[in-house]
Structure 1
Amino acid sequence: MLLAAGGTAAWAADRFLIEHVEISDVSAYEAEHSPTATDAGTTATASASADAVAAVVTDSSYSDGDTTITVTQVTAGSGDDTVTYYVADVVVSEATQLRSAFAKDQFGENITETTSTIAAQNDAVFAVNGDYYGFRTTGIEIRNGVVYRDEGVREGLAFYTDGHVEVYDETATTADELVAAGVWNTISFGPAIVEDGAVVDGIEDVEVDTNVGNHSIQGQQPRTAVGVIGENHYVFVVVDGRSEGYSKGVTLTGLAEIMTGLGATTAYNLDGGGSSTMYLNGVVVNQPSNGGERGTSDILYVAG
């Protein structure tokens, strides 16, 4: 029995705690493997330099001529039914301004840093936690035009360089086909909670993973989601939770209803719980449910 317990502990540590680095220098890897990303970045930089506008920064907004971000806190209900969430309205001039970054600038399993740390290392003015890809070995992960993983199993979200966003079936395509079609970033978590401007049926029954430790995402929880208002116009929502009198969290349906109320035509659930974090102008604006930020493997962000 002791040997069995020891073996289980070793397996659990290897599966959930020990870092398994597949790519040790993501910045160098992207520079080498993504001429499309490099060209897009160069074009965006040149455009920004030509039309440089001094950034206007407040406690709840950022604007620099190319990018406009406004964050609003919303509180609904009262007493134990209170829900508090944060809405970020984000408009960019180029789709490639919405980027992804990995913890420690590495790719692999169990590599984590806080959202604010990853954001600061990448000069982000705005960021939210991503899909926590490092918890699993499956999914299609394309980030900043580069393929990192091609193991399609679930419903993903694809951001294209032309500014449009699509929910797609990972099992019906490949990462290379997506890149060839103009995909800039993919997220592999879900489910999609809004499509064609309506709440998706059956979302309360979805299981993102079937592996140990993450079977279910049901119930009233802290949540993070991204929605699409229009071309290069996004809305991000972080719902706080697990704090009576401040915010109890929401169900997936409740999250979808928030998104449709904001005008999202498409919306997708990102990693939540203790991971749910929104960052603006160097500050975490929400109150993560762990009493502080929990490490995550990746972020979506906009740089200044």
Structure 2
Amino acid sequence: MKKAGWILLAFISLSVILFADASKLSSVNSATSNDRVRYEVIERSQHTIHTITIPHHSNYSVIPRLSGELQSLSDFVTLDSDRVVAAINGGYFDPINQKTTSFISQQSQIVADPRFNERLVDNPDLKPYLGKIFNRAEFRRYGCGEKTQYDIQLHSAPVPANCELLDSLGGGPGLLPTDTSVAEAFIAYQNDEKIRDAIGSDSLNARSAIAITGEGDIILAMVAQNPDQPLNSGISLPELADFLSGLGATKAMNLDGGSSASLYYNGQTFYGRVDKEGNQIKRPIKSVLLVKQQR
């Protein structure tokens, strides 16, 4: 009996140890999973939403890239494929002269400046709005000591103390915490009548956006039209803002949408806009945001 008792006690002790190790392993695997970039697809009657979430504690950076000539999103990824796991189309541009209409900075230097786009600055219809156009929302990456921080601010907003602006990509309007369409001249009113709506904010369309949650996670979102409803599908900007808020976003910014809307993940590129026959439109673009794994 004494020998049997010792055997039973040893078995119970071994079981406790194995259970404890299994719990530890489960915790480690869960933490590793939470560090990964997450891709999700949400199907709705009038659109499909593709989202990519980059956890704030992960080993990934979100950085802009600019091209001298217009090229597809997949071309951007191919040219900068080292450690790129995801990408989304970036800021606005003029498809005629291929010059930017959004500010872009890389390595603390402005590399795309809309003030040098003559088709923009010399357009008489836009002259009353240029001050606001040059001060639109931008996605920023700061270096603050050993930490990297992200933010969405107007172009004229100061850089926080003890931080350096590493890079930025302009778009707009800001969607969260408030809609800044009027402040950025996407929408204008005269005598309470809307006289300008540059991107059809309230209309259904393919859209792209970037957001930051309260915890600091980054969300890329691309909304694709329904090929079966080419003339009546997509999402409006207010609806997009509500969707991002539902994901926990506290700050969000619209990116160039419509035919430019595109998103890359895991070797596949998804496009947002469709033509009248429901075929995907693969428009070349000027800039992108890349999600890259840090070394």
Which band: TM-score by shorter chain? Answer: 0.5 to 0.7
Relative contact order, CA 8 A, sep 6+: which one is greater? 2
CA distance in 2, matches of 1:155, 1:171: 9
Instruction: Please provide the CA RMSD for this pair.
Output: 3.5
CA distance in 2, matches of 1:139, 1:178: 22
How far apart are 1:142 and its partner, in Å? 1.1
Which letter maps to 2:220?
Answer: F
In the alignment, what sits opposite 2:292?
303
**Unmatched segments (≥5 aa) in structure 2:** 1-30, 116-133, 189-196
CA distance in 1, matches of 2:162, 2:258: 34
Which letter maps to 1:194?
Answer: L
Q: TM-score, normalised by structure 2?
A: 0.63
Contact 1:126 1:302 in 2 (8 A): yes
Cα 1:160–1:225, aligned 2, differ >3 Å: closer, same or farther?
A: same
In the alignment, what sits opposite 1:88?
52
In the alignment, what sits opposite 1:192?
174
Contact 2:271 2:281 in 1 (8 A): no
Contact 2:210 2:252 in 1 (8 A): yes
How far apart are 1:148 and its partner, in Å? 1.6
Cα 1:92–1:204, aligned 2, differ >3 Å: closer, same or farther?
A: same
- Specify which of 230, 233, 240 is matched with residue 224 of structure 2: 240
How far apart are 1:289 and its partner, in Å? 2.6
- Specify which of 92, 99, 108 is matched with residue 132 of structure 1: 92
Residue 285 of structure 2 aligns to a residue in which SS? coil
Residue 117 of structure 1 aligns to a residue in which SS? helix
Cα 1:144–1:288, aligned 2, differ >3 Å: closer, same or farther?
A: farther
How far apart are 1:191 and its partner, in Å? 0.7
CA distance in 1, matches of 2:71, 2:99: 16
- Specify which of 67, 72, 78 is matched with residue 120 of structure 1: 78
How far apart are 1:255 and its partner, in Å? 0.6
How much identity, in percent, do the aligned residues show? 20
CA distance in 2, matches of 1:260, 1:299: 23
CA distance in 1, matches of 2:155, 2:287: 20
For residues 8-46 of structure 1, the C-alpha deviation after alignment (integer angstroms, 9 at most, x for no partner) is xxxxxxxxxxxxxxxxxxxxxxxxxxxxxxxxxxxxxxx
Residue 249 of structure 2 aligns to a residue in which SS? coil
How far apart are 1:194 and its partner, in Å? 0.9
Which letter maps to 2:138?
Answer: G
Residue 76 of structure 2 aligns to a residue in which SS? helix
Residue 240 of structure 1 aligns to a residue in which SS? strand
Does residue 215 of the first structure (1) align with residue 179 of the second (2)?
Answer: no
Cα 1:273–1:179, aligned 2, differ >3 Å: closer, same or farther?
A: farther
Residue 256 of structure 1 aligns to a residue in which SS? helix
In the alignment, what sits opposite 1:182?
164
How far apart are 1:89 and its partner, in Å? 1.2
Contact 2:35 2:59 in 1 (8 A): no
Cα 1:303–1:178, aligned 2, differ >3 Å: closer, same or farther?
A: same
Which letter maps to 2:140?
Answer: A
Q: TM-score, normalised by structure 1?
A: 0.62
- Which structure's CA Rg is the greater one? 2
In the alignment, what sits opposite 1:155?
137
Cα 1:202–1:128, aligned 2, differ >3 Å: closer, same or farther?
A: closer
In the alignment, what sits opposite 1:225?
209
CA distance in 2, matches of 1:158, 1:147: 12
**Unmatched segments (≥5 aa) in structure 1:** 1-62
How far apart are 1:230 and its partner, in Å? 4.5
Cα 1:271–1:179, aligned 2, differ >3 Å: closer, same or farther?
A: farther
Residue 216 of structure 1 aligns to a residue in which SS? coil
